[in-house]
Structure 1
Amino acid sequence: MEQGAIKPAQPVDLLEIKDLKKTFSISGGLFSRRLTLTALEDINFTIRSGETLGIVGESGCGKSTLGRCILQLLPPDEGQVLWLGQDLTRLPAEEMRQRRQDLQIIFQDPLASLNPRMTVGDIIADPLRTLRPELNKDERRARVLKTMEAVGLLPEMINRYPHEFSGGQAQRIGIARALITEPKLIVCDEPVSALDVSIQAQILNLLAELKDEFGLTLIFISHNLSVVRHVSDRILVLYLGRIVELATGDEIYEDPKHPYTRALLTAVPIPDPKLARLRNIDALKGEIPSPINPPSGCTFRTRCRLAQSYCAEKRPPLETIEGGRLVACHRWRELDAPLEAVLGV
């Protein structure tokens, strides 16, 4: 890569999501009517250039669906995905294909996302063949070697195949493939969840270094709040396809306003059994409800210790509170347990 992206003098609104909704029609059985699964609803947020937005929530909350809708890998049912003011949902296929130079993704399972029949060099160069056809073979190879160096891969690895690499090395190949087109935005879809803890730290540090070196904007998807905090400027918390809280990483970790956010923090392991017992008040109870038939009103009420009868009657709006942070909870002011007891700090 000849030169990383240059950071703008002032951050700009790079991506704006407006009223995004995504549903899936699924079979209800041999003699039953088809059912509608609402994966995302009323999603609104903005990402500024150079920012990392973390998206967290349990499995089935819509995190990966949101990332794919942003990249137009899944077409949303309603709403807008505005890239520098241009609505990606309305772009013709050819224009959207060219736009993919700016929008890339890193997948969760590094080995499963790589073609086992292609060498590392061909895998990394593949986006250039489609998006930069004017480059000749030597130019593509030079870019591949430069990108491999940036992600910590040795030049002699260029002719090897994916099965010859560890999970961490394979993820570096996936990162290089995303980086080769010099994108402005990369969606990182659970990029470290399949890796050992020690390797997770290496990949997280690499992503932070690449963000600074190339002026990247990142969307970092994970179910682990402790992982997201280390890389994110702001954190968006999803529950059953809706935003329940959006704030800076420090605000989320030091003073969570939604009971679900607080419960996610209690899931972070701590070594002290006494402090761990103090967390029980906020621990998640029960299973996540089905998105086919979600609870009325507040969808989190069936697992919330603060829930009252009126929580079943009215869905809490996503309101702006102090400091511009967003929270959707009728009773967020009543989270009373000391946070030190919850976090074990």
Structure 2
Amino acid sequence: MPPAQPLAAAPIQPVNKGAPLLTVQDLKVYFEVGGNRLLGKEPGVVKAVDGVSFDLRAGETLGLVGESGCGKSTLGRAVLRLLPIHAGRVVWLGQDLAKLDDRSMRGVRRDMQIIFQDPLASLNPRMTVGEIIAEPMQTFQPGLNKAQVRDRVKAMMAKVGLLPNQLNRYPHEFSGGQCQRIGIARAMINEPKLIVCDEPVSALDVSIQAQIVNLLMDLQREMGMSLIFISHNLAVVKHISHRVMVLYLGKIMEIADRNSIYYDPLHPYTHALNSAVPLPDPDQERGRSRIVLKGDLPSPLNPPSGCPFRTRCPRATEICAQVMPDLLPAKPGHLVACHHADTPRGN
């Protein structure tokens, strides 16, 4: 097993300043729950993603943060059209994915892949590692012969830190970190342009998390793909991301470059998330003051009026209950949805 390692200090991959690779416009993903129309009882509606818009450029990593139930994973899967979209547009290289039929969408999927949260559960236990990694090539590159497939599988295994002679083993013979490396190899074997990383390190030990994050950054530098990185670990998101988007009950609270989000946040929810990140220095950790949010996350079936964060916000006033704030630029490249973004911190 590779030795434990800290998060790398190397700079992240520069972003291509050209046209966006991906454009998401006013995306909405709703789910109906409960109810029985035969008995006249209308179902409830969960607005898991409610009007989200952003761009993603080639080679860029966008981090998604927020509490459980804020819509991060739903947003990531909707972008890949793994979940139905209620409204809005997902434009990939100029194509509106909602307008593509299944056959056309299949051609796009080679360039859009996903890495799942649970390493072992995402792998077929009846297939060998070689078969798992080779499966996407058999789908999208059927013209390759067996020797070519085997060579590419071995080369990819070496890239992600696995021994090529392990390709005939089964997933249960590997550790959690090794299984996640298998999942990464499968996602990258066709050299996609976009990978959605759906909490890829949350099920791993801290030292293994660092290895996987550093591996993703190394592969991004080598292959140039874009990442949407979803995580509860704000330190990891800060390390790997160019920009960070903060979600709360399906809406964007703040989006900016990683340094602005962590060192100069404007939304009170972002302040609270930063306050929850432990500091490595014990003296600083003991002496810091924390922001403790009151109450639990409201039900997405019955969200608060106005700003969804107002029921837990220390800055909330009457206007917060009446009007949902627009996501507006507070500084160049720094957008925030808050009526009191200019209120001094702590007030």
TMscore range, shorter length:
over 0.9
Query: Any residues of structure 2 matched to 1:1-345 within 5 Å, and which?
Result: 11-28=18-35, 32-270=41-279, 272=282, 275-276=285-286, 278-280=288-290, 282-337=291-346
Task: Indicate if the aligned counterparts of 1:226 and 1:265 stay in contact, CA closer than 8 A.
Answer: no
Cα distance between partner residues in 2 of 1:190 and 1:141? 29
Cα distance between partner residues in 2 of 1:233 and 1:303? 28
Q: Spell out, residue by residue over 1:181-224, the C-alpha distance to the aligned partner (whole angstroms, 9 max, x if none).
A: 11001000000000000000000000000000001111100122
Task: Indicate if the aligned counterparts of 2:22 and 2:92 stay in contact, CA closer than 8 A.
Answer: yes
Q: Normalising to structure 1: TM-score of the pair?
A: 0.92
One-letter code aligned to 1:115: N
Cα distance between partner residues in 2 of 1:22 and 1:185? 21
Cα distance between partner residues in 2 of 1:54 and 1:90? 27
Cα distance between partner residues in 1 of 2:34 and 2:116? 28
Q: Against the structure 1 CA distance between its residues 45 and 125, is the aligned structure 2 distance closer, same or farther, given a 3 Å change threshold?
A: same
Cα distance between partner residues in 1 of 2:207 and 2:232? 18
Q: Against the structure 1 CA distance between its residues 176 and 274, is the aligned structure 2 distance closer, same or farther, given a 3 Å change threshold?
A: closer
Deviation at 1:278, TM superposition (A): 4.1
**Comparing 106-115 and 304-313, the one that deviates more:** 304-313
Q: Spell out, residue by residue over 1:137-177, the C-alpha distance to the aligned partner (whole angstroms, 9 max, x if none).
A: 11111111111111011011100000000000000000000
Q: Normalising to structure 2: TM-score of the pair?
A: 0.92
Cα distance between partner residues in 2 of 1:68 and 1:13? 19
Deviation at 1:274, TM superposition (A): 6.9
Task: Indicate if the aligned counterparts of 2:15 and 2:60 stay in contact, CA closer than 8 A.
Answer: no
Task: Indicate if the aligned counterparts of 2:255 and 2:336 stay in contact, CA closer than 8 A.
Answer: yes
Q: Percent identity?
A: 58
- What is the CA RMSD across the aligned residues, in angstroms? 1.9
Task: Indicate if the aligned counterparts of 2:27 and 2:87 stay in contact, CA closer than 8 A.
Answer: yes
Task: Indicate if the aligned counterparts of 1:311 and 1:330 stay in contact, CA closer than 8 A.
Answer: yes
Deviation at 1:269, TM superposition (A): 1.6
Structure 1: 4+ residue segments shifted above 6 A: none
Structure 1: which 5+ residue stretches go unaligned?
1-6, 339-345
Instruction: Report the count of equivalent residues.
Output: 331
SS at match of 2:91: strand
Cα distance between partner residues in 1 of 2:76 and 2:185? 19
